[in-house]
Structure 1
Amino acid sequence: MARTIARISDLLVRREASTASARWIVATLVLSVVAWIGGLAILLVVANRTHVDIPRLLAVKLPLLKTNPELIFAGESRTAYGVDPVLAAQLLSQKPGYAINIGYDAGEPLAVLGAARLAPDVFAKAHVVISVAPFIFNDGVRSAGVYPQDVAARLSVGEQLVSYLPLRIGTLIRYIREAFDARLAQQERLAETAPQPANYGLTYISHTQAEGKWAARLGNHPHYANWNISGARARYETKALCDLAKLSRKLTVVIPPWAARYDRSSDPEWRERESEIVELVTRDGARCGFEVLNIPSVPDLRPENFADEMHVNATGVPIYTRYLVEQLKR
């Protein structure tokens, strides 16, 4: 009997020790998480104060403004890789430098507005043609590669943490990194001192995406994920377009085509979401005084002229540029 009692007592002591140990482990983990979030919050506060609206990718193209262009192609990657400013100038019977291309990957209207504020005299004399993509307005897309950095900078630290933790920590890390990099580019005065980009800003895509990597349909493309164009992105970016219209001689917002292999008539989700973007931008255009050019397709563009779902390859650049200029002349 005494042995049994001793064993039971020993088991209870061990259980209490194990419970206490587990509590310490949980407490340590909780404190570690709190400290980690606190550290991240401090970094975000510093990044928010450091951030400037012109990222490095745009800053290195701004020396092109020294040509005093009258036609400025701007916006996201479909402009950066798809519009030939030299050919555009030729089509308008103008010399090279009349048109420039300052588009860049994941480019956003807020950044172009920042450029216009940096060089108001140039933009005041220019027709600005800016392309937009679904991820510019869709709050549902939170991946690091395409999240508009200038929109992120306008959110409070609390909003940033709630929106992106725990699954999208990479988006916050990229924002912090880009904020410091943009400030460094400003301090280096790259917008003034960087070398003039080749081809007046156009970069060609020389490769074509492997056949197995093309999206089966565009309605479920990541740019349309968790569809929501009534949040902060749409609010800030459309306001930027309105402000840009005031600083430009003329502003045209372009909604470029997707690859020719896709059929809108058989993809209602894609068709409806693109229509919502057109409606959103058109409504603000009527209110703020800018034009909207919706290009669902280009007659002469073929599937082989595209590098991937969104971008034309080198063979598609002159076809798209000619069509775009023809539409702008109307």
Structure 2
Amino acid sequence: MIVFRQAKPMVTQKDIARRLGVSPGLVSRVLAGKGASIGAAAATVAAVRREALRLGYVPDCAARRLRGDRTATLGVVAYDFEDPYFGVLLGLLQRAARAAGHSLIVAGTWRRDPAGLDTAPLLKHGIEGLIIVGSDRGKPWLAPFRRACLPVVQIGHTTGRGVSCVAPDEQAGARLLLGHLRSRGHRRLAFLFNDTLPHALRRAHHRRALAALGLPPAPGCDLRCRFDRPESVETAADRLARMRDRPTALVAGDDATALLALRALRARGIRVPEDLHVVGCDDIPAAGLALPSLTTLRPPVEAMAHRAFLAASGCSPLAGESLFAPELVVRESSGG
């Protein structure tokens, strides 16, 4: 038997105003990025945006189009269509756009190849904002979007300037992950990272977390690989297998790297978790399906995608970097 339930009504600006005890007009101005122009206190602006995010507010774009000639179309640039973490984010952005009556136009590359990135169609379709999915060390392709004065938000980290970011709190994640391993009795840890920006940031925070926990870095245990060469994980596994004083845990820069490491370690007779604990980061769908299932950090991707959508659509402007604390997901690879 199929049971049809009434759809949950959409949250309106009046709902937010009623919960906060303020006027709907104030909420409307704040969500349109005009709070400062009407003299709203910074605390009030923050409270309105926080309540809108908590309630899952999305703008009534049909009404907005009636007030002007807006296209209700956002552009999305994904740095790697093969990355499963990016796939999750793209799906969540599509869900948010559909709920708000927006359309998305997506451009991107495979394996972060800048030569394959064609963003010209985004501007031709009159996008009203841009969301970048992925981290980078600069965006030479962004100049036309800056000239168009479009709101731009990035889900990820960047070393560039002038772009607001929504990203996981890597410092909090490092403390969670290493604190978990220390609680399991680990004192000698190996690290497996590539040369991408997220891995570099995570490795830096792991070093600080090690120092805070009073754990000295183990000599020879900083293993390297390349994101565009999966076979480089095999080389790292060879190094680890040959170590006389082998580490008791391996921290990988992301889940995809950790899953490659699980396979490489198994091929070399190293059992996980019996001989070595392995942890990752991102909680991609395959992490829970692996054998053994992977202990990892789960970023709040739904909240991150929703915040990025609100910023790019102009409903809730974002300045600087907004960090979201991850959750530790303990599975079989670190003892269950």
Q: Which has the higher contact order (CA 8 A, sep 6+)?
A: 1
Higher strand share: 2
Higher helix share: 1
